[in-house]
Amino acid sequence: MAEDGKGVERVTFSRGYDVCIMAIDGTWRRDCTLNAISDSDAILTVEGSIQGLNLKEFFLLLSSTGLAYRRCELVRVNGAEMDIQFLRGKNRKKRGAASGHDAVA
């Protein structure tokens, strides 16, 4: 998942981090594991079926309190593995390559 043909710097974790995906309206929440992340996307492993979930736009909760999150959309599903892309707001500026990883550290 590269932007404009450039390689995306992705951090792959040796062990996954427990995170959740949650509907924008809060009607559903699913536990999953964060396997890799970059400034623009992430790779997750989801336990159980994702059928019936509206994954066009959702939140990725990076903490058990739900205070740290990113708005996302589904890019690809391969078995239990999902590729997601982080959505940017209309007024949000692009982040540098070094930022964006602090939420999972």
What pLDDT, in 10s, does the model give residues 12-54? 999 999 999 999 998 999 999 999 999 999 999 998 888 888 8
| Distances, alpha carbon 62 to alpha carbons 6, 13, 18, 65, 90, in Å | 26, 14, 8, 9, 22
Supply 72's token pair: 């996302």
Question: In terms of pLDDT, which residue wins out, 75 or 49?
Answer: 75
Gyration radius (Cα) of the chain, Å: 13
Q: Is the pLDDT of residue 63 over 70?
A: yes
Mean pLDDT of 61-86: 89
pTM of the predicted model as reported, rounded to 2 decimal places: 0.71
Q: Is the pLDDT of residue 5 over 90?
A: no
- Grade residue 78 by pLDDT with cuts at 50, 70 and 90: very high
Supply 27's token pair: 């009607």
- Grade residue 90 by pLDDT with cuts at 50, 70 and 90: low
